[in-house]
């Protein structure tokens, strides 16, 4: 029997999200690194860019993007195992948490990986080198003529430096610089404290089983913040419940014995407990202005580029994720980051979940998110949708923009 194949790396943030879903749903799969010759031979030509993770299904279908991978499998899951709660407040909230985990924790993830070379790089360098170059010294990645794969450990070190130099530039592009680093660290420690307090009450964000929010959070919290040496020490020292949750999210069993007798049920009556409300308020303080700024920038970009039509590749090329740099205020600092249209897909998922809820749940969710400073997530829109087709982000239909001042 053929098994699905996940092309991924342990050090890859989004690989962690897809891998965790497969593990928790007990889906048998194979994992191969992008250094495997089948990745450039079969996968890259099919999707038009070098990107991970990518899933190749048992019947040969290729799916790139963690949301699409989860949607593909979750469509066949019974309700009691689905990562998506029934239509209601929890289904809306878990998508807010998914967006924040997948997009809103990039600053601490990048800072704690790339600004502690003395402790991190011996480990991270091996991760990168062995993911991009197989242990027999072979590689299919084009590192240029200056790297000879037959040089073994020396070649892996050069490969990791090549990849690290590319990724390190993203740290600045996500607003991490000497001026903001103290706030990045304070913000992350506050997040760990709030998440730890919530996980004292339940093994997952919405109760007894993981939902989309858990899989969004595991992306940075596993790949960067629990595996890399520097942040791993911080998490183990200051946030034991978070560390245990990271372990739990990578175990095919429930792995929550410290909670006593538990079930896989979500919180009863579509409840959002106080500890999670506090975490949502933190997300409102940390992330709402960023989303508003990004949507406003993207909408302005579309207004200035009237030649864009439905079906065009976002950014003009499949591998171009950013449309430019956008600036806004964060924790008393003027911060500049990439404006990434992909985030509109997360917004659309939140808004679609809101529209699927009944009137009572819509009112409750609007009040909850409004009080947390996240009400804009239910209405923000650029003048075009973003859609996914053929493993690419494309501009979708026109719509009435909603951009907050």
From-to residues of CATH 3.40.30.10 in the chain:
5-74
Per-residue pLDDT in tens (0 to 9) along the chain, 405 residues: 699 999 999 999 999 999 999 999 999 999 999 988 899 899 999 998 889 999 999 999 999 999 999 999 999 999 999 999 999 999 999 999 999 999 999 999 999 999 999 999 889 888 888 888 765 555 555 555 455 555 666 766 777 777 777 777 888 889 999 999 999 999 999 999 999 999 999 999 999 999 999 999 999 999 999 999 999 999 999 999 999 999 999 999 999 999 999 999 999 999 999 999 999 999 999 999 999 999 999 999 999 999 999 999 998 877 778 899 999 999 999 999 999 999 999 999 999 999 999 999 999 999 999 999 999 999 999 999 999 999 999 999 999 999 985
CA trace torsion 304, 307, 312, 313 (10° rounding): -40
The CATH number corresponding to 5-74 among 3.40.30.10, 3.30.70.600, 1.20.1730.10, 3.20.20.70 equals 3.40.30.10
Dihedral sign, CA of 75, 381, 290, 168? Answer: positive
Taking the mean position of all CA atoms in its chain, how far away is CA 114?
18
pTM of the model: 0.95
């Amino acid at each position: 029997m053929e098994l699905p194949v996940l092309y991924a790396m342990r050090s890859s943030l989004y690989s962690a999200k897809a891998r965790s879903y497969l593990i928790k749903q007990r889906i048998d799969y194979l994992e191969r690194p992008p250094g495997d010759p089948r990745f450039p031979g079969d996968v890259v030509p099919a999707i038009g860019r070098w990107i991970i993770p990518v899933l190749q299904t048992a019947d040969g279908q290729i799916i790139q993007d963690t949301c699409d991978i989860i949607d593909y499998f979750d469509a066949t899951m019974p309700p009691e195992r689905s990562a998506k709660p029934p239509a209601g407040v929890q289904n809306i909230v878990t998508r807010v948490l998914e967006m924040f985990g997948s997009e809103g924790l990039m600053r601490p993830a990048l800072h704690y990986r790339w600004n502690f070379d003395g402790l991190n790089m011996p480990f991270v360098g091996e991760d990168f080198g062995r993911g991009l170059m197989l242990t027999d010294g072979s590689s299919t990645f084009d590192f240029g003529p200056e790297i000879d794969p037959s040089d073994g450990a020396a070649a892996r070190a050069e490969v990791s430096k090549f990849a690290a130099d590319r990724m390190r530039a993203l740290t600045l592009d996500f607003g991490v610089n000497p001026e903001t680093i103290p706030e990045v660290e304070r913000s992350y420690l506050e997040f760990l404290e709030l998440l730890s307090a919530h996980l004292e009450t339940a093994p997952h964000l919405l109760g007894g089983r993981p939902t989309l929010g858990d899989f969004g959070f595991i992306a940075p919290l596993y790949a960067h913040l629990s595996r890399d040496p520097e942040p791993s020490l911080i998490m183990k020292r200051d946030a034991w419940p978070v560390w245990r949750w990271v372990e739990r999210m990578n175990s095919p069993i429930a792995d929550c014995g410290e909670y006593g007798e538990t079930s896989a049920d979500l919180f009863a009556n579509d409840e959002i407990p106080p500890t999670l409300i506090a975490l949502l308020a933190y997300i409102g303080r940390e992330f709402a202005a960023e989303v508003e700024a990004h949507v406003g920038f993207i909408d302005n970009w579309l207004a200035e580029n009237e030649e864009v039509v439905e079906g065009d590749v976002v950014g003009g090329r499949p591998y171009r994720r950013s449309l430019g740099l956008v600036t806004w205020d964060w924790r008393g600092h003027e911060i500049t980051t990439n404006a990434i249209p992909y985030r509109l897909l997360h917004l659309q998922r939140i808004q679609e979940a809101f529209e699927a809820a009944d009137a009572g749940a819509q009112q409750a969710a609007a009040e909850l998110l409004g009080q947390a400073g996240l009400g804009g997530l239910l209405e923000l829109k650029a003048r075009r949708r973003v859609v996914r087709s053929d493993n690419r982000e494309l501009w979708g239909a026109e719509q009435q923009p909603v951009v907050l001042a």
